[in-house]
């Protein structure tokens, strides 16, 4: 569904629904007692939207598994994100609740099924990992769980999501999302106000790693070279110029063109990745490169995230806008460059030691926040990205490519 429509429904339907749910819950004790012990048998994690956020949520899943080793972990997410969850392997297949959001009919139907499944499964705890989304708050309120954790506005104005979260965690715009999600897990046994003051957080986390099946990477790379023989025996640079659902996150296409032209002159091959709907954008980039045979359109070529990550094992460098590909890259050892501006790497950078973030801190940056539902006040003139110059990106790209020894012939599937 269109993201503007989702925001409209979240506001005009979500606010009154949260108010009604708050009245329904007002008859029960919302805040659990300090002396209460808690050993949950079933925990539901709700993280619907961003596929890349699933990678950043890995430390939270590990915290839950360490703290509640006997508990079953369940997950609710949008259907389009299911394939990455399967790669992470943190939830059993039978414990996944999928919501389709490709149409209003599918969304309403699946939400009704999800509520029925939550009530019949009898969850002990629900973690709402969405940043002030009201649909996830409503699902949490309808879950029937005795302990309901989620981000809460506390003393802030606006961002109303009702008052039925009984393990309220303060959203902290100065802390990385992974740290905040771990705090959400810690809140289930916390008795401070706001929840999670007594939790301990690591400074850094290790990203989850992608483990291909034996021979899988080699097979996919052989097919890539068969389909695009001009890529063989060349150092490969992948570009992701699309902004996805949020075009304001895209580094200017002309900047990508300048970097691609120079890397082609260096003897590299270029692959432009993306969804099927990104093919026209990729063709525009290829045309600007003069139809160079070593620059190919791979938008829509990969069948799945798993297929894409197999190709990452062949790639010497990924240059991408903030979004899913940068987080997927963290699950491999592939060097990558990620552009930030409307959002900040302080909150959303991957934990990969092979990643470099470009970020221009302007007075208005970052403008996409949990407080505005990632609805930027910018007029579309994203100077925070436009001021990241191709020359400085090219210099960093050459440095990272020089340190990468991958080729099209001998590929280490465990890299």
Distance in angstroms (rounded) separating the CA atoms of residues 125 and 373:
25
- Residue 240 near residue 273, CB atoms below 8 Å: yes
Which stretch of DSSP H or E encloses residue 238? strand 236-240
Helix (H, G, I), strand (E, B) or coil at 42: strand
> In sequence order, what are the beta bridge partners of 168?
150
**Interior CA angle at 352 toward 54 and 175, to 5°?**
65
- Residue 323 near residue 342, CB atoms below 8 Å: no
Nearest to residue 10, comparing CAs of 48, 57, 55, 43? Answer: 48
pLDDT, tens digit, 9 for 90 and up, residues 99-152: 999 898 999 999 999 999 999 999 999 999 998 889 999 999 999 999 999 998
What's the pTM? 0.91
**CATH architecture assignment, domain 216-402:** 3-Layer(aba) Sandwich (3.40)
**CATH architecture assignment, domain 9-189:** 3-Layer(aba) Sandwich (3.40)
Matching CATH topology for 9-189 and 216-402?
yes
> In sequence order, what are the beta bridge partners of 356?
337
For the chain, domain boundaries: 9-189, 216-402
- End-to-end distance of the chain based on CA atoms, in angstroms? 37
CB atoms within 10 A of CB 277: 11
User: Residues with Cβ < 8 Å from 203, sequence gap 6 or more?
Assistant: none
Helix (H, G, I), strand (E, B) or coil at 256: helix
Distance in angstroms (rounded) separating the CA atoms of residues 18 and 148:
14
- Residue 184 near residue 44, CB atoms below 8 Å: no
- What token pair was written down for 317? 């460098």
Quote the DSSP letter at residue 328.
H
**One digit per residue, pLDDT tens: the chain, 415 residues?**
666 777 777 877 888 888 888 888 875 545 555 445 789 999 999 999 888 899 999 999 999 999 999 999 999 999 999 999 999 999 999 999 999 998 989 999 999 999 999 999 999 999 999 988 899 999 999 999 999 999 988 888 778 888 889 999 999 889 999 999 999 999 998 888 888 887 666 678 999 999 999 999 999 999 999 999 999 999 999 999 999 888 999 999 999 999 999 999 999 999 999 999 999 999 999 999 998 999 999 999 999 999 999 999 999 999 999 999 999 999 999 999 999 999 999 999 999 999 999 999 899 999 988 888 778 888 789 999 999 999 999 999 999 999 876 544 434 434 4
CA 383 to chain centre: 24
């Amino acid at each position: 569904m269109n993201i503007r429509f989702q925001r409209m429904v979240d506001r005009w339907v979500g606010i009154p629904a949260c108010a009604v749910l708050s009245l329904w819950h007002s008859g029960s004790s919302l805040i659990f007692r300090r002396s209460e012990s808690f050993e949950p048998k079933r925990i539901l994690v709700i993280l619907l939207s961003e596929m890349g956020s699933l990678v950043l949520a890995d430390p939270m899943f590990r915290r839950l598994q360490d703290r509640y080793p006997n508990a079953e972990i369940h997950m609710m997410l949008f259907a389009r994100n299911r394939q990455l969850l399967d790669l992470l392997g943190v939830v059993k297949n039978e414990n996944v609740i999928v919501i389709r959001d490709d149409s209003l009919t599918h969304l309403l139907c699946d939400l009704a099924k999800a509520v029925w499944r939550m009530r019949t499964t009898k969850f002990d705890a629900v973690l709402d990992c969405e940043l002030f989304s009201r649909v996830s708050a409503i699902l949490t309120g309808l879950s029937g769980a005795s302990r309901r954790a989620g981000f809460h506005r506390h003393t802030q104005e606006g961002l109303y999501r009702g008052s039925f979260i009984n393990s309220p965690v303060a959203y902290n715009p100065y802390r990385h999302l992974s740290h905040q999600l771990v705090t959400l897990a810690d809140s289930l046994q916390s008795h401070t106000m706001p929840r999670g003051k007594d939790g301990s957080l690591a400074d850094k986390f290790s990203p989850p790693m992608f483990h291909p099946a034996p021979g899988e990477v080699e097979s996919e790379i052989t097919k890539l070279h068969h389909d695009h023989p001009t890529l063989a025996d060349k150092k490969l640079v992948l570009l992701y110029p699309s902004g996805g659902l949020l075009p304001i996150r895209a580094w200017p296409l002309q900047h990508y063109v300048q970097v691609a032209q120079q890397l082609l002159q260096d003897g590299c091959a270029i692959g432009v990745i993306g969804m099927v709907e990104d093919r026209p954008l990729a063709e525009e980039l290829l045309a600007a490169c003069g139809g160079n045979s070593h620059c190919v359109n791979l938008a829509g070529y990969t069948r799945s995230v798993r297929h894409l990550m197999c190709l990452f094992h062949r790639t010497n460098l990924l240059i991408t806008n903030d979004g899913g590909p940068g987080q997927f890259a963290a699950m491999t050892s592939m060097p990558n460059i990620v552009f930030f501006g409307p959002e900040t790497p302080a909150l959303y950078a991957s934990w990969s030691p092979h990643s470099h973030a470009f970020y221009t801190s302007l007075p208005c940056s970052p403008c996409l926040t949990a407080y505005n539902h990632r609805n930027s006040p910018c007029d579309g003139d994203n100077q925070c990205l436009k001021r990241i110059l191709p020359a400085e990106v090219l210099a960093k790209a050459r440095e990272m490519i020089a340190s990468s020894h991958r080729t099209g012939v001998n590929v280490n599937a465990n890299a």
